[in-house]
Amino acid sequence: MTISMYQASVPAIIHSLNNLIAILEKGATHAEAKKIDPSVLISSRLYPDMFPLTRQVQIASDIARRGVAKLAGLEAPQMEDTETSFPELIARLQKTTAYLGTLTPEQIDGSEEKSISLPVGKETMNFQGLPFLNYFILPNVYFHVTTAYDILRHSGVELGKRDFLGKP
């Protein structure tokens, strides 16, 4: 049995982002229960040279949206990085998953060898579709979702591995 580019990307990314929504909801509930200003958690980071929670969520959203759109040969909808609250971050992720849900297997399948150029700073990274998915999109989404999870867990939010993995 083979797996298609669509199956390897869209459902897995939506699943991960939905898990991040649930993690953020737990963060908001934790802040309220412990009477912590939510902005403290939103601006938390694991180390001074790392991005805060807000930026981790924004990057996960951007990589997911833009990466899968590139596989489909589309321009992803733009999102401003203006979120400053749990509800706004959750809404951003919901918009991202809604967009991903509009993409079809026909738009993405067959993109394994598609040439993809990605401007990164002053350089351009060049990929074929399958390596772009396996070595850029998925690892980046998982990295930023994991880092967001870690920030909240480090901040005392009661999270476990099942929160990260979600329900199958």
| Residue 50, helix vs strand vs coil | coil
Beta strands at 123-128 and 115-120: parallel, antiparallel or unpaired: antiparallel
CB contact burial 55-74 (16+ within 10 A = b; e otherwise)? bbbbbbbbbbbbbbbbbbee
| Residue 124, helix vs strand vs coil | strand
Cβ contacts of 84 within 8 Å, gap of 6 or more: 39, 42, 54
Task: Give the pLDDT score at 156.
Answer: 97
**Alpha carbon distance 158, 38 (integer Å):** 15
Task: Give the pLDDT score at 168.
Answer: 81
Cβ contacts of 1 within 8 Å, gap of 6 or more: none
Domains (range + CATH), the chain: 9-111+126-156 (1.20.120.450)
pLDDT tens for the chain, 168 residues: list them. 689 999 999 999 999 999 999 999 999 999 999 999 999 999 999 999 999 999 999 999 999 999 999 999 999 999 999 999 999 999 999 999 999 999 999 999 999 999 999 988 999 999 999 999 999 999 999 999 999 999 999 999 999 999 999 988
Task: Give the pLDDT score at 1.
Answer: 66
Task: Give the pLDDT score at 17.
Answer: 98
Burial class (CB in 10 A: 0-12, 13-18, 19+), 78: exposed
- Kindly state the helix (H) or strand (E) to which residue 42 belongs, with its residue range: helix 38-42
